[in-house]
C-alpha cells in the first residue's frame, strides 16, 4: 500500500515539497504519495490529528506552524529541542515524533554543495526569528571562530543568544549599523526582508571570498544583489530547501536520496 505524506502550511500553494519528495521517491523506489495541505491559521493541531487518524505516515510543516508542530509532538529529537521548532512529524502507533531538519539542511548545503567550510570562519547571522533560531545551534556545532547575530530588534537577538549553547565559539550580538566592514567569511540572511524587498541597513561586511547566503529562494533579493555588488559569492536557499527535505525523507524512510539532480531540476524550472 502507498504510504501517505503531506506538507502543512498557510499559504501552501507555492510549496515545492511535493515535487521534491516525488523525485526522491522515484529515485529510491519508495512507494509514497505527497500532498500540499492548507491549514487554517488557528487549526494546525486539528489538521495534523486528522491526518494521523487517516493513516498518513508523516508530514512536513512550514510557515507559520513550526512552533505548533513542536507543541503537537509526543517525542522530540535533539535537533527539534535545539531549534524550539519542528518541521517534520512522523506518526507511529506509539505517538507522534518530531524533528527539525532545517539547520542540518543549511549546513549540508554550505559544506557539501557550495564547498565552503564553516569551521574556523567568522559568521554573521542576520535575523532573530524562527528561521534564525532553527539554524543557530547547527552552525555553532560546526565550530566557527566567531558568530555574530544582528537583528533590527536587538533584544530578540540577545534573548536567542542567551539560550544557545555556544561552547568554545565566541557569540555576540550587534545592531545592523554597528557591524564591522569586510570582516565576515559567511553572511546568512535569515530575515524575511526578501519577501518585502526591504534592504537591510548593513555596511559592506563581506571579507574577501565571503559567501553571502540568502535563506529564501526563488528571487534575487536585495540582500543578494548588494552582496554580489560588494564582491561576495552569493547563494539562495534552494539548496537548503532540498537538503532539509532529504533529511526529512531519511527520517521517514531510512533511505538517503541524492540531492544534486533534484536541485538541478528545480533550478531549470
Q: Is 84 in the site for ligand ATR (CB under 6 A)?
A: no
Q: Which residue has the cell 548545503?
A: 109
Q: Which residues pair with 72 in a beta bridge?
A: none
Binders of ligand ATR in range 110-169 (CB under 6 A): 127-132, 151-153, 156
Shortest distance, position 63 Cβ to ligand ATR, whole Å: 6
Shortest distance, position 157 Cβ to ligand ATR, whole Å: 8
> Do 84 and 102 meet the contact criterion of CB atoms below 8 Å apart?
no
Q: Which stretch binds ligand ATR (CB under 6 A): 37-45, 89-97, 188-196, 233-241?
A: 188-196
Shortest distance, position 106 Cβ to ligand ATR, whole Å: 13
Shortest distance, position 83 Cβ to ligand ATR, whole Å: 11
Torsion of CA 253, 254, 255, 258, to 10 degrees: 90
Please identify, using beta-carbon distances, which residue of 23 and 200 lies nearer to ligand ATR. 200
Please identify, using beta-carbon distances, which residue of 4 and 226 lies nearer to ligand ATR. 226
> Do 40 and 10 meet the contact criterion of CB atoms below 8 Å apart?
yes
Please identify, using beta-carbon distances, which residue of 133 and 253 lies nearer to ligand ATR. 133
Binders of ligand ATR in range 189-228 (CB under 6 A): 191-193, 198, 200
Q: Name the burial class of residue 254, with classes exposed (0-12), middle (13-18) and buried (19+) by CB atoms within 10 angstroms of its CB.
A: exposed
Find the residue with minimal CB distance to ligand ATR: 129
Shortest distance, position 215 Cβ to ligand ATR, whole Å: 8
Can you read off the three cell numbers belonging to residue 78? 535533539
Please identify, using beta-carbon distances, which residue of 51 and 131 lies nearer to ligand ATR. 131
Please identify, using beta-carbon distances, which residue of 150 and 245 lies nearer to ligand ATR. 150
Q: Distance (Å, rounded) from C-alpha 260 to C-alpha 163? A: 35
SS3 label, residue 38: strand
Q: Is 90 a catalytic residue?
A: no
Helix locations, the chain, DSSP H: 17-28, 44-53, 66-72, 78-83, 102-108, 130-140, 154-163, 193-196, 222-229, 238-253, 260-268
Per residue, what are the HEC states of 187-240?
Answer: EEECCCHHHHCCCCCCCCCEEEEEEEEECCCCCCCHHHHHHHHCCCEEECCHHH
Contacts to ligand ATR by CB under 6 A:
127-132, 151-153, 156, 191-193, 198, 200
Catalytic positions, please?
66
Amino acid at each position: 500500500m502507498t504510504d501517505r505524506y503531506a506538507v502543512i502550511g498557510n499559504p501552501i500553494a507555492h510549496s515545492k515539497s511535493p515535487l521534491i519528495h516525488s523525485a526522491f521517491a522515484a529515485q529510491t523506489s519508495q512507494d509514497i504519495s505527497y500532498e500540499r495541505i492548507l491549514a487554517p491559521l488557528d487549526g494546525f493541531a486539528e489538521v495534523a490529528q486528522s491526518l494521523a487518524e487517516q493513516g498518513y505516515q508523516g508530514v512536513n510543516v512550514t510557515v507559520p506552524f513550526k512552533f505548533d508542530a513542536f507543541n503537537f509532538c509526543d517525542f522530540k529529537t535533539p535537533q527539534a529541542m535545539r531549534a524550539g521548532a519542528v518541521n517534520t512529524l512522523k506518526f507511529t502507533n506509539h505517538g507522534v515524533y518530531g524533528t527539525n531538519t532545517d539547520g542540518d539542511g543549511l549546513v549540508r548545503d554550505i559544506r557539501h554543495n557550495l564547498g565552503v567550510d564553516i569551521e574556523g570562519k567568522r559568521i554573521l547571522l542576520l535575523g532573530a526569528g524562527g528561521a534564525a533560531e532553527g539554524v543557530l545551534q547547527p552552525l555553532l556545532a560546526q565550530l566557527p571562530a566567531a558568530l555574530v547575530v544582528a537583528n533590527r530588534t536587538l533584544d530578540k537577538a540577545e534573548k536567542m543568544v542567551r539560550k544557545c549553547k555556544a561552547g568554545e565559539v565566541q557569540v555576540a550580538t550587534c545592531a545592523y549599523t554597528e557591524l564591522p566592514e569586510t570582516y565576515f567569511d559567511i553572511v546568512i540572511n535569515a530575515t524575511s526582508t526578501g519577501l518585502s524587498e526591504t534592504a537591510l541597513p548593513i555596511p559592506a561586511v563581506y571579507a574577501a571570498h565571503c559567501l553571502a547566503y540568502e535563506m529564501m529562494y526563488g528571487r534575487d533579493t536585495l540582500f543578494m544583489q548588494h552582496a554580489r555588488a560588494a564582491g561576495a559569492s552569493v547563494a539562495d536557499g534552494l539548496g537548503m530547501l532540498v537538503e532539509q527535505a532529504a533529511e526529512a525523507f531519511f527520517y521517514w524512510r531510512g533511505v538517503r536520496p541524492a540531492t544534486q539532480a533534484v536541485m538541478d531540476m528545480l533550478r531549470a524550472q
